[in-house]
């Protein structure tokens, strides 16, 4: 939703407010950065997350000062960035980055319903590795008590996207410097079993 | 430096305060997230950066509200995260991530000296693509005037690092679920020239 906070002061043409743009970015990114304010100071931490409909979930230890501050109402800004390419232009000024980013402004709602809490943990686990949750032993009551799950509304979320290639000023285009894009990609390398592992690699990991 | 703000409330054993740990993480990461506080609200943006000795540089448009707020003294928290692997354990609770992260607390010093400003822009450009700066036409006075460069001291920086493989509780180690690490890596794909490019690919890009 476009609000004063979600309207960028620069490059507003790159801004998007629709779920069709925002949701896939949140779903593709494995990690977000959660920023908050504690005693007037900014604090930010990278963490895992998962999206379900119009909610974003994160989890953390009940002992974490950061999680507790957020849980008790500190305002939150969550950012996600996927870097898709380095844009090399003929001037330093026209260098850029192809990226897809999301910024969410929200306050945490603590998930207290046990079924929703368990579902959120399943979503966070399966966001990292699809189909993982059903392969795990059940989470215990003790583990659940040690974990805080927080939900954030995506009502005040926006995306910013740059695609395409270099875009030099007309006056620079004939300079003898190479211009183009270097695409970036995050890849998963072959799994390495733990030394105590005796199980064979499941189908959902061998793909 | 270890201060109250840089001491994590959880997993303090993963915390580091030495430049030998912190600097390589800042140098390997192409992007950071800059968080600040404006009117009591958290604002965070991903951006490019470069490190030189004990300073971190970022740049932005002189017209950006975010940059202006930071330039005028809003407190800043800068985070960087390199995700090295997904840790798959036999319980959801023991799932984790191999990562190297840095958190910096600082206030911006605006770079007004023209030589330092130009050097910082060269560092940011070459941080993205080594040896790029010397291949570009000189930055103009007009471009320089449109760009704000901010420096941040790394005095109050800390790193957090997790390495190794899965680490299940003893009671879970014999469960029939696969446990291990899925390494993650960000790779650069072959460069794609802009449609107006006629220059051949330079040596520093073909490696």
The domain that holds A42 is classified in CATH as 2.30.110.10
Give the residue from chain B lying closest to A173, CA to CA. B196
**What pLDDT is recorded for position A197?**
97
Of chain A, the end-to-end C-alpha distance in Å amounts to 37
Q: Identify the residue whose tokens are 């998963």.
A: A188
- The shortest CB-CB distance from B133 to any of A92, A172, A185 is to A92
Q: Is the pLDDT of residue B93 over 80?
A: yes
- The shortest CB-CB distance from A193 to any of B129, B137, B180 is to B180
Q: Identify the residue whose tokens are 């000296």.
A: B113
Best of B136, B174, B176, B205 to substitute, by most chain A Cβ atoms within 10 angstroms, is B136
ipTM of this predicted structure: 0.95
**What pLDDT is recorded for position B6?**
79
Q: DSSP string spanning B67-127?
A: HHHHHTT--EEEEEEEEEEEEE-SSSTT-EEEEEEEEEEE--EE---HHHHHHHHHHHHHH
Q: What is the pLDDT of residues B96-132, one digit of tens each?
A: 999 999 999 999 999 999 999 999 999 999 999 999 9
Counts for chain B of helices (H) and strands (E), in that order: 5, 12
pLDDT > 70: percent of chain B: 99
Instruction: Give the C-alpha separation, A155 to A130, whole Å.
Output: 26
- The shortest CB-CB distance from A192 to any of B133, B165, B186 is to B165
Residues 6+ apart with CB under 8 A from A63: A146, B9, B10
Q: Is the pLDDT of residue A88 over 90?
A: yes
Q: Is residue A137 part of a domain?
A: yes
- For residues A189-201, one letter each, b for 16 or more C-beta atoms within 10 angstroms of the residue's C-beta and e for the rest, the string is eebebbebbebee
Cβ neighbour number for residue A98 with a 10 Å cutoff: 19
Q: Is residue A111 part of a domain?
A: yes
To the nearest whole Å, the CA of B53 is away from the closest chain A CA by 22
Q: How far is CA B203 from the centre of its chain?
A: 26
Q: What is the pLDDT of residues A112-165, one digit of tens each?
A: 999 999 999 999 999 999 999 999 999 999 999 999 999 999 999 999 999 999
Reading the block at residue A73, the tokens are 């109402």
Q: DSSP string spanning A6-75?
A: TS-SS-GGGEE--HHHHHHHHHH-SEEEEEEEETTEEEEEEEE-EEETTEEEEEEETT-HHHHHHHTT--
Q: Is residue B173 part of a domain?
A: yes
Q: Is the pLDDT of residue A46 over 90?
A: yes
Reading the block at residue B189, the tokens are 């794909």
Structure confidence at residue A12 as a pLDDT band (50, 70, 90) = confident
Of chain B, the end-to-end C-alpha distance in Å amounts to 37
Best of A43, A92, A164, A176 to substitute, by most chain B Cβ atoms within 10 angstroms, is A92
Find the farthest-apart pair of alpha carbons in chain A and give their distance in angstroms, rounded.
67
Q: How many domains is chain B built from?
A: 1
For residue A160, what are the domain limits? 12-167+188-206
Instruction: Give the C-alpha separation, B35 to B70, whole Å.
Output: 9
Instruction: Give the C-alpha separation, A23 to A13, whole Å.
Output: 19
User: What is the phi/psi pair of residue B198, to 5°?
Assistant: -120, -5
Bridge-based pairing of strands B41-48 and B15-16 is unpaired
Q: Does B37 contact A37 at a Cβ distance shorter than 8 Å?
A: yes
Q: Is residue A1 part of a domain?
A: no
Report CA-CA distances (Å) from B71 to A140, B26, B118: 49, 21, 18
Residues 6+ apart with CB under 8 A from A123: A50, A51, A52, A57
User: What is the phi/psi pair of residue A19, to 5°?
Assistant: -60, -30
Q: Is the pLDDT of residue A7 over 80?
A: no
Give the residue from chain B lying closest to A78, CA to CA. B44
Q: What is the pLDDT of residues B149-196, one digit of tens each?
A: 999 999 999 999 999 999 999 999 999 999 999 999 999 999 999 999
Q: Does B42 contact A40 at a Cβ distance shorter than 8 Å?
A: no
Q: Is the pLDDT of residue B8 over 80?
A: no
Cβ atoms of residues A32 and A78 within 8 Å: yes
Reading the block at residue B146, the tokens are 């449109």
Q: Is residue A176 part of a domain?
A: no
Q: Is residue B65 part of a domain?
A: yes
Q: Which residues on neighbouring strands pair with residue B37, listed in sequence order?
A: B42
Please tell me what DSSP assigns to residue B177: S
């Amino acid at each position: 939703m476009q609000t004063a906070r979600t309207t960028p002061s620069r490059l507003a043409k790159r801004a998007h407010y629709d779920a069709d743009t925002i949701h896939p970015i949140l779903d593709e990114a494995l990690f977000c950065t959660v920023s908050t304010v504690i005693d007037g100071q900014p604090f930010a931490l990278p963490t895992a997350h998962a999206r379900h409909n119009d909610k974003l979930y994160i989890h953390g230890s009940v002992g974490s000062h950061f999680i507790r501050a957020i849980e008790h109402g500190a305002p939150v800004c969550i950012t996600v960035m996927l870097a898709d390419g380095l844009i090399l232009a003929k001037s330093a000024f026209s260098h850029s980055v192809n990226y897809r980013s999301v910024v969410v402004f929200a306050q945490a709602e603590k998930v207290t319903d046990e079924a929703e809490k368990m579902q959120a943990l399943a979503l966070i686990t399966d966001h990292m590795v699809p189909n993982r949750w059903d392969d795990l032993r059940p989470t215990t009551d003790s583990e659940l008590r040690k974990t805080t799950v927080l939900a954030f509304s995506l009502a005040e979320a926006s995306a910013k996207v740059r695609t395409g290639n270099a875009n030099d000023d007309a006056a620079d285009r004939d300079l003898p410097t190479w211009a183009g894009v270097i695409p970036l990609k995050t890849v998963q390398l072959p799994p390495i079993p733990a030394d105590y592992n005796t199980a064979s690699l499941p189908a959902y990991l061998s793909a």
